[in-house]
A and B are shown apart, each in its own frame.
Chain A
Amino acid sequence: MTARVGVVTFPGSLDDRDALRAVKLAGAEPVALWHRDKDLHQVDAVVLPGGFSYGDYLRAGAISRFSPVMETIIEQARGGMPVLGICNGFQVLTESHLLPGAMLRNNHLHFVCKDQKLRVENNGTAWTSDYAPGQEIMIPLKNMDGRFTADRRTIDELEAEGRVVFRYLDGNPNGSIDDIAGITNAAGNVVGLMPHPEHAVDPIVGTGGTDGTGFFTSILKRLVNA
């Protein structure tokens, strides 16, 4: 028996196929979910993929956050279901208030597309247990609105509770506070990050490495052992 991991397709999602493939390569069963369908089809975890859902109209993630599928995901995430938001998915998670803070336009106003070195600051989440604490990984980064921000009190709380999961190394690509690349909620089941682990699971494409695979093997182990 393996775990069922859903990947939502919103209008404007780009990386849903790569996320489904990453789930499959890790040995879990990928399940395609549709934004207008409230039913999660008995998945054990959900990935919100990258892209430009609803054209990033209003704010990135702001319209997707009110889609029918998100109603169910928000409710179940609050109940402990693991959710990973990648790039646009991270933006959807902050707009949903499942994660604190907000995403803003990159401080230099340019689209970023590069291989980005990260440090795994917290391997205690549902999505990072296969990494060593402090492990450095190379993951593609590509976004326009990647500047994570929150008020100082929220940042201090995130830092104090070890909820900064990933930090940018070798330069901050978008002006995010404290070089934050990804965070988790207090329970550790909801994780959001700007870089794209689903593009780093096969040596023939992307970074040429497989540093992103750990996200998908982590969740599989967590669900199968649960």
Chain B
Amino acid sequence: MARVVVDVMLKPEILDPQGQAVQRALPRLGFEGIADVRQGKRFELEVEGPVDAAALARIHQAAETFLANTVIEDFTVHVEEGQ
């Protein structure tokens, strides 16, 4: 089966306090030099059958209506190669 990955991120203008909390914790753990952290979601979809244009269009639709809330989030869809 082919894997299609949907990455969902808060839009750049939306405050991400979770990302900020992670960013603030990094120097305490000795990881210096990281100016900003944004936290997102990754969905790995195992697709039955061929991942053709029609299948990708369906996944795009699922991402737009369900996996992401496009009021506050952006998403990208890509096929994971080399499995």
Whether A104 pairs with B21 at a CB distance below 8 angstroms is no
What residue of chain A has the Cβ atom nearest to residue B15's Cβ? Answer: A107
Q: A101 near B: Cβ within 8 Å? A: yes
Whether A108 pairs with B17 at a CB distance below 8 angstroms is yes
Q: B67 near A: Cβ within 8 Å? A: yes
Known contacts A109-B17, A109-B21, A175-B15: A104-B72 contact under CB 8 Å: yes
Whether B69 pairs with A95 at a CB distance below 8 angstroms is yes
Q: A102 near B: Cβ within 8 Å? A: yes
Q: B18 near A: Cβ within 8 Å? A: yes
Q: B31 near A: Cβ within 8 Å? A: no
Bound Cα distance from A220 to B2, whole angstroms? 55
Q: A1 near B: Cβ within 8 Å? A: no
Whether B17 pairs with A149 at a CB distance below 8 angstroms is no
Partner among A62, A66, A101, A107 whose Cβ is within 8 Å of the Cβ of B17? A107
- Residues on A with C-beta less than 8 A from B71 are 94, 100-102, 150
**In angstroms, how far is the closest chain A Cβ from the Cβ of B22?**
11
**In angstroms, how far is the closest chain B Cβ from the Cβ of A95?**
7
Known contacts A101-B71, A102-B71, A109-B21: A62-B15 contact under CB 8 Å: no
Whether A105 pairs with B18 at a CB distance below 8 angstroms is yes
- Residues on A with C-beta less than 8 A from B69 are 59, 62, 95, 102
Q: B34 near A: Cβ within 8 Å? A: no
Whether B72 pairs with A62 at a CB distance below 8 angstroms is no
Bound Cα distance from A150 to B67, whole angstroms? 19
CB contacts under 8 Å to A, within B33-83, are: 66-67, 69, 71-72
What residue of chain A has the Cβ atom nearest to residue B68's Cβ? Answer: A59
Bound Cα distance from A109 to B15, whole angstroms? 12
**In angstroms, how far is the closest chain A Cβ from the Cβ of B75?**
13
Whether A102 pairs with B72 at a CB distance below 8 angstroms is yes
Whether A149 pairs with B18 at a CB distance below 8 angstroms is no
Q: Mark B1-42, 1 if CB is under 8 A from A, else 0.
A: 000000000000011011001000000000000000000000
- Residues on A with C-beta less than 8 A from B17 are 105-109, 175
- Residues on A with C-beta less than 8 A from B15 are 104, 107, 175
Q: Mark A163-185, 1 if CB is under 8 A from B, else 0.
A: 00000000000010000000000
Q: A160 near B: Cβ within 8 Å? A: no
Q: A226 near B: Cβ within 8 Å? A: no
Bound Cα distance from A62 to B43, whole angstroms? 15
**In angstroms, how far is the closest chain A Cβ from the Cβ of B25?**
12
What residue of chain B has the Cβ atom nearest to residue A107's Cβ? Answer: B17
Other than A58-B66, A102-B72, A109-B21, give 14 A-B pairs with Cβ distance below 8 A. Answer: A62-B66, A62-B69, A100-B71, A102-B69, A104-B14, A104-B15, A105-B17, A107-B17, A108-B17, A109-B17, A149-B72, A150-B71, A175-B15, A175-B17
List 5 A-B pairs, minimum CB-CB distance, nearest first: A102-B71, A102-B72, A109-B17, A107-B17, A102-B69
